Amino acid sequence: MSARHRLRLALPLGGLALALLAALTMAGADGAHGASVPPAVVPVCPPTIGFGETIECSIASGAETHVYTFVADASDKVLARMAVSSGTLDPQIEIRKDGTLLCSAYYPFEGAAEIDACDLPTGGTHTVLVGDYGATETGDYFLHLQRLNNPGNASALSFGETTSGTIGDPTHMNAYTFDADAGDKVLARMATSSGELDPEVRLYGPDGTLLCSDYYPFGGAAEIPTCDLPTSGPHTVLVGDYGATETGDYFLHLQRLNNPGNAAAISCGETKSDTIGDPAHMNAYTFVGDAGDSVRVTMSVTSGELDPEVRLYGPDGTLLCSDYYPFGGAAEIDACDLVPGGTHTILASDYGATETGDYDLYLACLTPGAAAQVAQGEEPTHEYSNRR
């Protein structure tokens, strides 16, 4: 008795729906109305959607339009994407302000539709409208909303850090933020670790403008090898499934190519024995060099499935030299000419970003006075010059 009471409280229309279902089933016995029997329980969609949130709901009649509200500021840029998870619904999505259409997207063959960036000219309450393209089909859907400047539900990510995450709902994108300066160059790479997720990574500037992106449509890894940041301030990385229809776990690595984070100093003639513990991770090493110097960098795998890849960047983050070997073993930058400006960066990683293991990294300075000798000898030399 009490269970039935609770059911009535939770679903006040349950009795009516059951009565309707019974009537339609009886009517449908002769085939007249069998196709139009509604589900007994229609999920109730929430009235609002927040930035960084994903909602799941159902279109029970092709005529339905679901309306969600959100509040935004003038000049905000927002992303909205909708994916069909069951049924024959063709996703259609609109963003409106006071009834005026600002942006729309649809896909006529089920799957997913996305408004990748909608500029909102005025602040205040906006609406996201979703329904079936053609208004005749039904099904379940996921809806994700995000603000590309000032994202919601975001985590901070540091340079040189690798984080793990999960895309649990197909349209969902996880958001990460980091601060950077104008002129910085950054790298971001994402590797799928389980599930059917096809990695997609996007990088946005402080005003929500898409600066760089990459995806790989068959699992594996996606990488933005270098992205020039024209503006100082908070930046956003969004990661999700390419196509917005699959889920899974991933690793995400972020690094600044000039002035890297979480970097270790390396000297001429020094061997570093290190580990790539997470597939997308890259270890960073720094040394001081100058124009006229030349170095050799050798990375030799000592255990694990790691395929060695080594890259060498100049002080402004420009890639100077690189090498990799896709079947374990060793990779070597034979002789890389350095550039003026000081600190150079070496990144050591798995080629393909999907495997892990241990390695030795050796830095050989091929010219007299190069690298660590410059770093150690620089200070006394300058004092001597100043005294004169």
Q: Applying CB under 5 A, which residues contact Ca ion?
A: 90, 132-134, 137, 198, 241-243, 246, 307, 350-352, 355
Closer residue to Ca ion (CB): 195 or 352: 352
Alpha carbon distance, N-terminus to C-terminus of the chain:
99
For residue 174, the minimal CB distance to Ca ion (Å) is 15
* Tokens, residue 222: 């996606």
Distance separating alpha carbons of residues 318 and 78, to the nearest angstrom:
32
Report the DSSP beta bridge partners of residue 67: 129
What does the DSSP assignment read for 55-85? EEEEE-STT-EEEEEEEE-TT-EEEEEEEEE
Give the contacts of 356 (CB within 8 A, at least 6 positions apart). Answer: 275, 276, 277, 278, 279, 304, 305, 306, 350
For residue 339, the minimal CB distance to Ca ion (Å) is 29
Closer residue to Ca ion (CB): 132 or 214: 132
Helices 2-10 and 14-28, interaxial angle, to 10°? 90
The amino acid at residue 42 is V
Closer residue to Ca ion (CB): 50 or 220: 220
For residue 229, the minimal CB distance to Ca ion (Å) is 28
For residue 330, the minimal CB distance to Ca ion (Å) is 14
For residue 193, the minimal CB distance to Ca ion (Å) is 13
Closer residue to Ca ion (CB): 253 or 256: 253
Give the contacts of 113 (CB within 8 A, at least 6 positions apart). Answer: 81, 82, 83, 91, 92, 93, 105, 106, 107, 133
For residue 50, the minimal CB distance to Ca ion (Å) is 24
Closer residue to Ca ion (CB): 248 or 315: 248
**Which of 360, 339, 111, 122 is closest to 244 using CA atoms?**
111
For residue 5, the minimal CB distance to Ca ion (Å) is 40
The total of other beta-carbon atoms located within 10 Å of residue 186's CB is 24
The strand ranges marked E within 108-173 are: 112-119, 124-132, 139-147, 154-156, 161-167
Closer residue to Ca ion (CB): 341 or 357: 357
Closer residue to Ca ion (CB): 77 or 81: 81
